[in-house]
Structure 1
């Protein structure tokens, strides 16, 4: 009597059946099952042509049945896929690396990168995902997807608290806004993820790291400059700069050929990045600058036209330039941003559509949703108007531009940014108090300011009172302050 056993077989990897040693697999241009099961019976197909379950006939005592030397069923797709079997165990198509840690999101790019790395570098691929507050659905089933793509394991780390304390809050305190609009939502997360990537590479003794950043974007610079700063001995593999895939359509085709599920189709191929701070949209119809973003593209914030007809007032409390409370309730950094995200999103706050200069020299278009961040930047700026003098504000604002540029350019671990951060921390020591803002159909406006360090003095500034500043004082001040202008005017009146 014989029994039928099914084995889940990843033919593209050359992995043994459960319980078998690797040496029992014939690894060749043709696929061979384990000798124990099929006595070296070769299947008439190449590795890339077989997917699904392989069935073998096994006798009751576990030995193979000589009368049944056949594969009962092998499921094969209708298309021919790229053949990872071209890669030997010693070397890939482009060389040999022992182990690569891949920054993995489960999206289109990183999904196809896993089999590509194994095929081209003959290496083990360990996927790493940083939980930076992205949509929870992006994390569901991620481990299964990574392993199905050929990764040996998936490592997930919660980076939300570190993201807010060590990256978002410093940028907020500095007032760092890139090119007048962009609140650096993606730029801030890249050095954090790359830092974690370097640490994991050390833990697992990997000799390389990889990312899915495109060759035309700024993210690749952010990733790699962090690696240079923290461990320059690591090799960085950037498939978008090496492979033959030239578009997202090509990547989708590659994924389909390797039976890798991806969350996009050729009909809708927006490139998105979602974290605790923002949601970005790029590509697809946005590449035509005459197109207004479609209403259903937005996934987070309510359309301002559909927002409540009644405004909402929110009080934000700060201590030394950093937010600590919402409507009088002290919250953790992550909870505070999450709370403001919910409030801002339902009022359509934080939508930005902009043309920006990428680090690589070209311009690009990005649409961003940053509800909580927009509220915080508005409140922080308004509180500084109360607690900082004119000269300090001017210097801080000028440095904020450079600070934002450094962050956008991936130079987070540059000594210049770190030194500027020390200035920002010192200069905002007195930026303590609260600001109340009004949210209404996409807009954020301030309605009240409070601070124990307020430089506003009603008894001085009032038009009706003020013994410290006499109205007659203005005459002498204006004469002295305007003296250079008076002299130039007098010169023009002289006869030639």
Structure 2
């Protein structure tokens, strides 16, 4: 105990599950601290009432139990800003887990300030990315906060040792928790993520039981689903003309994606901590949103802006994946991205069919698409095809010079 920091109050990111319930009791016994539980509703689709009941059962005072509905804030202030950049990590991953962590950390710090806590704690293991994401965010928001990471501190060597601790401290253990789960799941309104155990061998196809947000594309309807999405300044605001709040709009896109088998991804990725991991992700609404946003940008952004955004995006994605949402460089990039979205307003028409997303129409009052310029018919525009000859020769000049040099050699 002597090497542990003195802690009076600690805010725990608490799911109500067995692992965080063990952490709750461990914080009480090892640190002698008053524990405040914080459970975030990010649209994970679980009933959060049991988390309150479990916390009460473990001796937490009612005033020290915080269950916060963060769904609208999550989509409005985190998901939508990320999608303005068309963000994908390593070419495929839509960062559903990564983008949730800064909001959880921010709310945790807000609660710590409110109750006068001097520490925060999370349930992430010492092998994953989430420990980095949480703790970098904690320190960015509250530089002197004490962070307790039980999985890096405690002496439990096995699952059975954890269960024995739970039994010794009268922590309820559901029958399905007696053995190790076949895979671990993280979910929120943007996606679900499954990793570990039966998914660890990347050569073996994931069983259908892993998928919870989408039906199999093979089982999707034989008739396409067509609808429209309206955008204002880069953010979606309506589906089929019906204005929706950010969380309700993403929920609707998730429903459309689910029914058409859209948004499945089986990925081997590079973790920030240095190892590769295999995960199965489902992001039905996000997959639709990415395609639709690129569709409206295709007629409203000029070439230079679009290409610069595409160059910046991998760096932006890496910052989010690695946990640097609150870093000055992410904020700098966000400012540039948001500036580019000033005229990304209009409507796209989307077709979903058996796992595929197609953009089949796009219109905007700020469209840069000029039909007279691109038509093969003679138009009344200031484009003289003969001008292309000089343009081509000037662009080819350096290549011609190099070719002549090489011939001399």
Which interval holds the TM-score relative to the shorter structure? over 0.9
The structure 2 residue matched to 1:173, chosen from 84, 89, 93, is: 84
Residue 472 in 1 paired to residue 406 in 2?
no
Q: CA deviation at 1:440?
A: 0.8
Give the TM-score normalised by structure 2.
Answer: 0.94
- Once the 2 structures are TM-superposed, how far is the Cα of residue 156 of structure 1 from its aligned partner? 0.5
CA-CA distance at 1:175 after TM superposition: 1.6
In the TM superposition, 1:380-399 aligns within 5 A as 380-399=293-312
Which structure dedicates a bigger proportion of its chain to helix? 2
Distance 1:448 1:246, change over 3 A: farther
Structure-2 separation of matches of 1:244 and 1:301: 39
Distance in 2 separating the partners of 1:452 and 1:247: 61
Q: State the 4+ residue runs in structure 1 displaced beyond 6 angstroms.
A: none
Aligned counterpart in structure 2 of residue 261 of structure 1, from 169, 173, 182: 173
| 2:397 matches 1:483 | yes
Note the C-alpha offset of 1:249.
6.0
For residues 285-310 of structure 1, give each alpha carbon's deviation from its aligned partner in whole angstroms, at most 9, with x where no partner exists.
Answer: 11111221110111121111111111
Aligned partners of 2:207, 2:168: CA distance in 1, in Å? 31
Whether 2:100 is the aligned partner of 1:186: answer: no
Aligned partners of 2:165, 2:311: CA distance in 1, in Å? 47
Task: Quote the Cα distance in structure 2 between the aligned partners of 1:121 and 1:287.
Answer: 35
Secondary structure at the counterpart of residue 455 of structure 1 = coil
Q: Match for residue 210 of structure 2?
A: 297
Structure 1, gaps ≥5 residues long: 1-90
Secondary structure of 1:445's counterpart equals: strand
Equivalence map 1:98-137=2 (5 Å):
98-137=8-47
Work out the CA distance in 1 between the residues paired with 2:76 and 2:147. Answer: 28
CA gap of 1:256–1:398, structure 2 versus 1, over 3 A, is farther
Match of 2:201 among 282, 288, 305: 288
Number of residue pairs matched by the alignment: 404
Task: Give the aligned partner of residue 26 of structure 1.
Answer: none
Say if 2:65 is the partner of 1:151.
Answer: no
Change (3 A) 1:265 1:366: farther
Most deviating of 95-104 and 436-445: 95-104
1:133 and 1:334, CA in 2 relative to 1: closer, same or farther beyond 3 A? same
| 1:282/1:366 contact within 8 Å kept | yes
| Counterpart in the other structure of 1:220 | 131
**Distance of aligned partners of 1:264 and 1:300 in 2 relative to their CA distance in 1, 3 Å threshold:** farther
Deviation at 1:165, TM superposition (A): 1.4
TM-score, structure 1 normalization: 0.78
Look up the SS of the partner of 2:49 in the other structure: coil
Aligned position for 1:195? 106
Aligned-partner Cα distance in 2 for 1:317–1:266: 47
**Structure 1 residue 250: deviation in Å?**
5.0
Per-residue CA deviations over 1:104-151 (Å, capped at 9, x if unaligned) read 0123321211111111111121110011111133x1311111222343
1:387·1:431 contact (CA, 8 Å) conserved in 2? yes
Give the distance between the partners of 1:187 and 1:238, measured in 2 at CA.
18
Q: Mark the structure with the bigger radius of gyration.
A: 1
What do residues 152-175 of structure 1 show as CA deviations (whole Å, max 9, x unaligned)?
342111111111111111101122
Deviations 1:161-213 (A, max 9, x none): 11111111110112221111111111111111111111111111111110001
Contact preservation (8 Å) 1:315, 1:434 = yes
Q: Does the 8 Å contact 1:95/1:120 carry over to 2?
A: no
* Structure 2 match to 1:318: 231
CA offsets 1:377-420 (integer angstroms, 9 cap, x no match): 11111211221122211211111111111111111111111111
